[in-house]
Structure 1
């Protein structure tokens, strides 16, 4: 009789715990994921913090917490992970009554982009591990991964070259109604700006200095239209990094920068045009736009999309970044040259690409071959 009674009691306990877990396992249970940063640069490390809280008397002896992130998130611990087109992680843990568990998962981001984690799935077993209950918790994690800034000697030389030409144009666009003072003559100064009265007093040539026209800016135009049958993903990312690096350097010199591109975003939409601006927040705006670019999508034809933008803005210094070199694009640059619009074309290339530049554009073209 005692054995029968024990069996009945065990069965009742089994039925009771099965009922309790099925009805109450997710009550006052919370699962939260958040990142230590919401913006990073390619190659930086950050931490995914996983917090699971059980605010009830019912213990949870076996929980599986699963979530999906990008395969470009490089976690050092791959024991509980599966990597295919995404990174799938599954952690097994247990929570006693009124217990909170926090896990910190460091990782490194390997690719530019915009990434989200929108849900976490939780699987709970009862005491006898005979039944599993599943529920998903919505998450709201988003991460902008900015392009890697280039830091190579050739970029310093390239920037100094561009900066010299930009400043030359800037000095020729002084506002004659905004007198700033008198300074020593420099080789780039026009003879008409010499103040002969001040020069006679000092014995050295002096010129009138004026504030610069407020509309002056550097306009960066990134062309990611594919010009060859073989896609050059490395050159696409190099071009995006060049756009970010040059924007950062011009802004550091106090020169306003605008940004335009024919590349589509991850949503399949035309990219936001970044109007002229300066400062740290303006660089963040440019970086966020660069993060959203989806080079897997076919870009708009550059000439059709950007022709009007290229042929306007006489106070702008246009910098093109483009591996695309077909006749329609180069003909547009020739029209700009004929219209006396200041520009330079940076041509990123590798050993698979031969640069064939129109003679009229060679003086305005810089070959970039760092890959």
Structure 2
């Protein structure tokens, strides 16, 4: 009788174990939501995990895990810490839900896909740990860092691009369109101090494009493998994106070209006019390991040669051979903005120097 009872108990135990192993993940719905996953370096976005257990038995131990790139920090109330794997440990009763919000800060320009999440589960009765993988089609985009363009426009003002700088620094008053509230990244010179004082908030002047306000920006990235990880290459991308954004705010029609490619080797700019959002997104997709030779994008089509043209590059990419090639490009309308970091000029905070290389 005792053996029969033990046999029935053992059978019941294995029956419960079999049922749990084959049904624990059923009735589980998992959602991952991100708010503003397009950020500049140092900005914070939020990620929300929602798990709903829609069945008649609970799950006492769950761990939800999303693999993250190390270039992100988890921001908590009193500190920040690097993320390797973003995980949440919790339990769920039957027909209950768990929700967790994470604040995350990105540091390095790039596009970071989130392709899957893993759910680990344990029971109080059994030793087995089971795992279920769920596909995740999410993407975090970290734009290039925007830098001040004041020094750039000072260079343009004293170089062959004087006409471009004059139009940019002192916009045609006939093209004035109106005022709007100040936004992060707006040029200080566009502030309307009188109106700002009246309304007790910062206001900036807006201008409509005037005839022939067009500029071609060329981003020249390193070709040599040894230089592709150089910090100056990232500085070039930041200068390029910042200058493009500034020119568009001043009313220019902006065209872009580059020898950079995305991670799969595809072109990112075709020389057509583009918006600021497209420029920022494409710059985020640039993979320095995929850059190609410079020749094709420095030799611009003849129909563009009458436009103002600026090449944004760095000491890591520029050479006398490229300078000769660039002279064939745009006559007297081309200027090279060259980011350099010279030992004798490097301050304690690693300040970068920008100098012009005028195409004559």
TM-score surpassing 0.5?
Answer: yes
Which position in structure 2 is the counterpart of 1:165? Answer: 163
- Asked if 1:302 corresponds to 2:301, the answer is no
Q: 2:329 matched to 1:331?
A: no
After superposition, the C-alpha distances for 1:220-266 in whole angstroms (9 at most, x for unaligned) are 10000246945552111111110111111111111111111101211
Alignment of 1:113-132 (within 5 A): 113-132=110-129
Aligned to 2:306: 315
CA contact (8 A) 1:274 1:286 kept: no
For the structure 1 residues 65 and 144, does the alpha-carbon distance in structure 2 shift closer, same or farther, using more than 3 Å as the test?
same
| Higher radius of gyration, 1 or 2 | 1
Q: CA deviation at 1:133?
A: 2.3
- SS of the counterpart of 1:142? strand
- Tell me how far apart the structure 2 counterparts of residues 266 and 41 of structure 1 sit (CA, whole Å): 20
Structure 1 residues 13 and 63: alpha-carbon distance in aligned structure 2, compared to 1, 3 A threshold: farther
Structure 2 Cα separation of the partners of residues 97 and 13 of structure 1: 21
Matched, 1:109 2:103: no
What is aligned with 1:74?
73
Note the C-alpha offset of 1:217.
1.2
Q: Secondary structure at the match of 1:296?
A: helix
How far did 1:286 drift? 0.5
- Looking at structure 2, the residues matched to 115 and 228 of structure 1 have their Cα atoms a distance apart, in angstroms, of 23
- Identify if the C-alpha distance between structure 1 residues 229 and 71 changes in structure 2 by more than 3 Å, giving closer, same or farther: closer
Normalization by structure 1: what TM-score? 0.72
Contact 2:210 2:251 in 1 (8 A): no
Alignment of 1:198-237 (within 5 A): 213=211, 216-226=213-223, 229-231=226-228, 233-237=230-234
Q: CA RMSD in A?
A: 3.3
> Partner of 2:280 in structure 1?
287
- Change in CA separation of 1:66 and 1:168 when aligned onto 2, cut-off 3 Å: closer
Q: Distance in 2 between matches of 1:241 and 1:258?
A: 17
Q: Hey, what does 1:41 align to over in structure 2? A: 40
Q: How far apart are the structure 2 equivalents of 1:283 and 1:295?
A: 21
Cα displacement (A) at 1:352: 5.6
Q: Once superposed, which parts of structure 1, at least 4 consecutive aligned residues long, lie more than 6 Å away? A: 3-6
Give the SS at the match of 1:18.
Answer: helix
In the alignment, structure 1 segments of 5+ residues that lack a partner are: 171-179, 181-210, 355-360, 366-371
Pick aligned residue for 1:249 from 246, 254, 260? 246
Long gaps (5+) in structure 2:
169-173, 175-208, 346-355
Deviation at 1:89, TM superposition (A): 3.2
Which of 265, 268, 273 is residue 265 of structure 2 equivalent to? 268
How far off is 1:168 after superposition? 5.8
Change in Cα spacing, 1:300 to 1:28, as seen in structure 2 (3 Å) is same
Cα drift, residue 127 of structure 1: 3.3
